[in-house]
Structure 1
Amino acid sequence: MTNPSPTLARRLWEAVEPIHAVAYFAAEPAAAAKAIGLPSWWMGYFTGRVAPLGALGPAAATAVVFGFAPGMVARFLPAAWTFTTPETALDARIDSVGATLRRTLPPSTDLDRLAELLDRAVRGCGFAGRPLAAAWSAVRPPEDALSRIWLAATVLREHRGDGHVLAAVHAGLAGIDATLTHVATGAVTRELLQINRGWTDEDWEQSRRGLVARGLLDRTNRLTKTGGALRRQIEEDTDRLAAGPVAALGESGVHEVIQLATPLSRHLVDSGVVPVPNPIGAPRP
């Protein structure tokens, strides 16, 4: 599959995504989840991600996180809310990622400027049909620059992610179908993604057969010409649906964000805080 062209929307995402991704890979968020009483890492993941939406049950949470198996989500929600509240989970997530960034990133005099630019990008987001992004956009910004940067990166990430879900659903793909076709691009392995998203071998095989019947996968589980075109269309639609922040920043603003955020993101990857490759697709920009 030919990689999508590096649009400004995609380059903006690449520059800031590793900053958001510390929430999933650094030690501090995992420790914070344990400290508020959550008995498993995955409870920390789901509560920390959907907390701004309230105490979601499994059906609603599965819909917004999309690529996860419903049974996996149901193992952790709503049970997690018997150990903590959305407000506590949200505070723990923001405090812990701020601690991670302060620990891992070198000093910089450009943080306030980057936070200002990312806040401007967030103001360019449209939130219709984007529940996760809308909820995160309503979170009160923290006072320190690094935590503000993380929160803005999170809104932008969920805005793009919600748009990606819209594009995949419009293309007729369920969560597992999107997962299989993503694996078929060669960008990530089945071994990395299947267990991480909770799909059984039976789930995988049923989706594979359906995709073959639709002419999207061949018998060797590679994308057909039609499947490759569909994946490219989804990525192009994702970029198009992420154009609001780009318009708010303007081309020069996007380039300034890339210039300021890329060294931070590269440091997080190169120092091992955010592994690449990873299940969420965070790149080394």
Structure 2
Amino acid sequence: MESVGWRHALAHCAWWFFHIAGVVAVFVLPSDLRIGQAVAWNVWLFSIVLSLNIFAHYAVRFSDPGWARPPGSIGKPPAASSTTAISPHMPQFNAAATDCESATLWTASSTADSTSQLLCPQCGCLRRLPTTTHCRYCNRCVEGFDHHCMWLGVCVGARNHHLFARYTLVQTTVVLLSFHYTLTACGRPSPYGYIWAYAVLTPMSLLVLIMSFLTVIHVFLVLTGQTSRQVMQRIRWSGRGTRTGAQQPGVGRLFSPHPSLGVVLQNGTYLLCGVRPVWLVQGAWLHKASGWVEHVLDNRFYSCC
């Protein structure tokens, strides 16, 4: 665990180093942050977005990802997860496995009551959700486990996945602004030469692609109420079915459990505001609208999924 602590500390220092280096680069280059009629407006915009990025970073870093608790402990109820509402018959973990992270999945033929109160053989915590997984870095079980982020030094789970998606969104905005300001410096004379602007632009372009992809993926996961581990498990199951000759689901069903429109709107509200309005999944008009959308995507003439 000490080596993991050092990794987290080094990753935290690296995060600050790259951000400081990026800020210095865009301010040293002859970009719109130094030259032009809207210098003050650009500086204020970049400063506000950068401040929001730092706040979002530490909001995730010090958040509770959804730690599972030992049996008999008095605490909060299980972490809210729209995945269980979408797919109540998800496969459960085998309690006989020796490692939660490598636990094999068995087809759930029993009721939800008989699959509750499962204990983790590593930390002894209750696995009250099918998506509860043991993190080998934190040595604790996390409900709705998605992944462990070394840059943030914390797991991403059911209680902070929306915070992580917000952070990636703000971080992507910072990278896009930095890319824009670096691009404005490429056509202007500079005592450092044009080569420096293009040298900074190259890694910025790569970061834009990486962060945009990461943001789209995690916003999609939060809106559909699932984790990246569930998607990967679905892909692995699809591969096994291909080898056995079983009929495979379409691409859409492989990546999404097809939640209702109300659940997507509820998860979107949770992503933006941190609350899940109940009326969004209880309105009759939303059920009708969800049926229309599903009919447009999948009908007897064609199927987008």
TM above 0.5, one fold?
no
Query: So what's the TM-score if we normalise by structure 1?
Result: 0.29
Structure with a larger share of its residues in helix: 1
Greater length-normalized contact order (CA 8 Å, ≥ 6 residues apart): 1
Query: So what's the TM-score if we normalise by structure 2?
Result: 0.28
Point out the structure with max Rg over C-alpha. Answer: 2
